[in-house]
Structure 1
Amino acid sequence: MAQTDITAATWGRLSLLALIWGGSFLSVRVALDEIGVPSVVAHRVLWGALALWAVVLARRLPLPRDARVWGALLVMGCLNNAIPFTLLAWGQLYIETGLTAILNAATALWGVLVAAAVFADERLTPARLAGVLIGFGGVVTAIGPAALSAFDPRSLAQLAVIGATVSYALAGSWARAQLSGLSPLFSAAGMLTGGALILLPLAWMVDGPLPLDLRPETWIAVAYVSLAATALAYLLYYRILAAAGAGTLMLVTLMIPPVAILLGAAVRDEALEPRAFAGFALIALGLAVLDGRAGHALTKSRRA
């Protein structure tokens, strides 16, 4: 499967996924005001998994009997849920939202590099690398280059966020290599189950029994991050992965920061700086370069 051009359907799914995940930062931060990091991520994967299994049972889908598949799902739950969810939530407690978003957007860089190293049809072309770098520059511009001045490689919180981005990138390639034959619904349900098997005991050891007597605003945040930003989002995740590959899938992290900035301006009355619009334009340019069709059109016009 060639990974040069990105179809309109894939762009639509990427945009929807970015919109959903753009609100997850706010929801996680609201939940962290009342409960600890392990409990937040345990709630996230538990309710997300239960929602998807309800759909699996309602549709009476047959379960795979191959132990290798269940092992791959457990690894996926670790790489795509347990590790990054925990590291990102913990990092949000100690570093600025802008810097967190910039570091998280680096997932696109890691994703393209890992996919290029693993899959022959996702090779790293100059145009592909240029598109990712332009898009990442747009993220930095939109949030403000000053946010990078706070970067300190010795900071455990910042290293945690970077670790989460590497884990996400590895998960994308792992899923394509090991789970390509499964339906998106079962892949998402099995992966979240694997994450829950890891996170529920961790939350019990650190925070005690999973808290259920939460404030209404905390339950709203938990419901959004588990049902929308996890269950629904990962159905889209696996559809994009199957259609466009691991490297293209990771580009969604370039599209999340503008959504997060706009939501902050709309919901929390945060200032929307003029530089944000310049950053959005750079992100759009980077995505256009990655799309490939603009370059093909220019080449055809020159030949004509």
Structure 2
Amino acid sequence: MKHIIALVAFMLTVVSVCAAEFSYKFDSIPVSQALSQIGSDHQSLKISFIYNELETYRTSARIDTDDAYEAIRQTIGLNPISVVRKGDDFYVEALQHGKYCYTGRLSGPDGETVAGASVLLLAPKDSTVITYGIADDRGRFAIPCDKKEVIAKFTCLGYMPTYHKCDDFTLGTVIMQPLPVQLKAVSVEAANALAYSDRTVYLPTGNQRRAAQNAIDLLCHMAIPQIKIDRVTGSVSDNLGKTVEIFINYVAATSEDITGLRTTDVRRVEYLEFPIDPRFRGAQRVINIIVQEYVYGDIPKLRRMKVS
């Protein structure tokens, strides 16, 4: 019994040693809320900021550090926010105080969300950068700025840079055009392929969509060269046997989602390795199936096949 108690005590000691002092997983929450949580959990820290000033900036940071300054910097991420440390005090301030706020949403020509795009607000005279921000996982942005009538520049991997003259603070939906790089001939009858620096996109043919009974069946018909499929278990792996996780519209797919997928609604299939998009939740290899969404009221939903 004493040996068991000693072993448990040892394990608890190891866990306490390995656990970082600042360990957080934020999921697209306002920076002000994240900083408030850190300050609440660590009463000895003095973090000074104006709550409303940082509320428009969001963070999806994954933090695991023992250093307070590093934890705050990781929380802020790429947002235009400065951190000044004076002893044990931290002063956090937005680069623009937000006399005005430019808002909008980014979308591709087919209505798909453009997430994680950089949004630069430029001076009209010489195109110098006044401030900037990052679109969230729904393509939305809200950027405080102290200037009127700026020029917005939108950039995102796989899309052409887009400019928009801001005559109003509400920009609405801004359409970004894709910038594909056509692959050389692929010896796969299944799918047309487009190569980007962070993913390969496969476009299923109409015959493949109609012939497939579910998501796994569609992947088999498409014969994507980077993956192998076990038809018996329905598992997907890469050519080295590593697990490939399946997502549908950037959401982890359940077995019900996979078997009930309406394959005729599939627009394209993306294969990614070590994606940085936070929506993939740290998955190392991903099949992301992009499906037409149908809006009922204000809620987008996927149509599923009826299973008798």
What TM-score does the superposition give when structure 2 sets the normalisation length? Answer: 0.18
What TM-score does the superposition give when structure 1 sets the normalisation length? Answer: 0.18
Greater share of residues in strand: 2
Greater share of residues in helix: 1
Of the two, which has the highest radius of gyration?
2
